[in-house]
Amino acid sequence: MRCSIIFIFMDQLINGVHNMINKQLNRTDLSMIKELNIRVLCDDLAQFHTLALAQHGVSYYIKIKYKGDEKNLLFDTGSSYNVISYNTSLFNIDIKKIDAVTISHGHYDHGGGLLELLNIINAPVFAHPTIFKENFTLPYSYVGIPKEDIKDLKNKNNFVFTKDPMEIFPGVWTSGEIPRVNKFENVEDLYTIDNGKVVQDPMMDDTSLYIDLGDSLFLISGCSHAGIVNIRDYAEKLLGKKVKYILGGLHLINANKGRVDFTINSLEGTKLYLGHCTGERVVNSFIERYGTAVKRIHSGFEILLKLH
């Protein structure tokens, strides 16, 4: 009975948000995205033909062009700012042109470079309100945003904390919390402290980015702790369009065969740009199944889509 009430509440919540989004999508003045350019500033891999630096972590520089306008977004900040600084210089990217930052979740390899970045630029940072919580694995190993940075970060006035989806630029949405629906995509081996007790961390702070391409969606994820199929399904339910592209880490590096097979089967027909915590074995399995529809990204990798 209790589970039924929870599911009914979640459906009502999603439907409410969905109605709000439909009103915004139906605006006659909505600027359509004309071009999407994504540069991988940080991934765990750097190929031999590039001078770009690699690091365990994620950072994507996203340039969105509209008719007569342009927005620049940084998705995650890697483990440290040094790699971002070097690679932006290498690719002639002006870090001071960043209009907004999103942090996918509160782990060091996604928010480690944030403080130094915010000492250079003044831009809104969109994130879940619990990104600064205690994050660790067992035996105890801290994996959260660097503790020495948290006090200074909390003193910044850049943060926009939300559990709900939010349109940050025309056609560009943060996902908010992802409903956990299927039985395969469970969060394992991550912990936090709740009222003084050690508990498994469901990683509700794991959020993604949804970009409306007009006839389809481009999904960007940091680690997909919420499960990439859950994340994909939520995007399609909220925005009423199919996800055509996925970029990011899928956190399948230590996943069992059942979850890997479920994920591969579920993402048929999607253009996939995979890296970070997906795992090389799993990336190769995707390539064996879907061929050139799958790319293994690396620091310096670029995606360019010209639309409309």
In this prediction, residue 29 has a pLDDT band, given cuts at 50, 70 and 90, of very low
Identify whether residues 13 and 105 lie together within a single domain. Answer: no
- What CATH number does residue 103 fall under? 3.60.15.10
Q: Are residues 11 and 157 in the same domain?
A: no
Phi and psi of 9, rounded to 5°?
Answer: -60, -45
Give pLDDT tens digits for 141-186: 999 999 999 999 999 999 999 999 999 999 999 999 999 999 999 9
Q: pLDDT category, 203, cuts 50, 70, 90?
A: very high
Of 2-11, 216-225, 287-296, where does mean pLDDT reach its minimum? 2-11
| Per-residue model confidence (pLDDT) at position 231 | 98
pLDDT at residue number 1: 44
| Domain co-membership, 160 together with 176 | yes
Q: Are residues 118 and 254 in the same domain?
A: yes
Q: Give yes or no: residues 21 and 47 share one domain.
A: no
Of residues 27 and 203, more confidence is placed in: 203
pLDDT on residue 31: 60
Count of domains observed in the chain: 2
Q: Provide the residue range defining the domain that includes 13.
A: 1-27
Q: Are residue 16 and residue 109 in the same domain, yes or no?
A: no
CB 36 within 8 A of CB 305: yes
Let me know whether 99 and 127 are in one domain: yes
Considering the entire predicted model, what is its pTM?
Answer: 0.91
Instruction: Answer yes or no: do 150 and 296 share one domain.
Output: yes
What mean pLDDT do residues 111-116 have?
98
- As given in the structure block, the two tokens for residue 285 are 């399995």
Residues 74-98 have a mean pLDDT of: 97
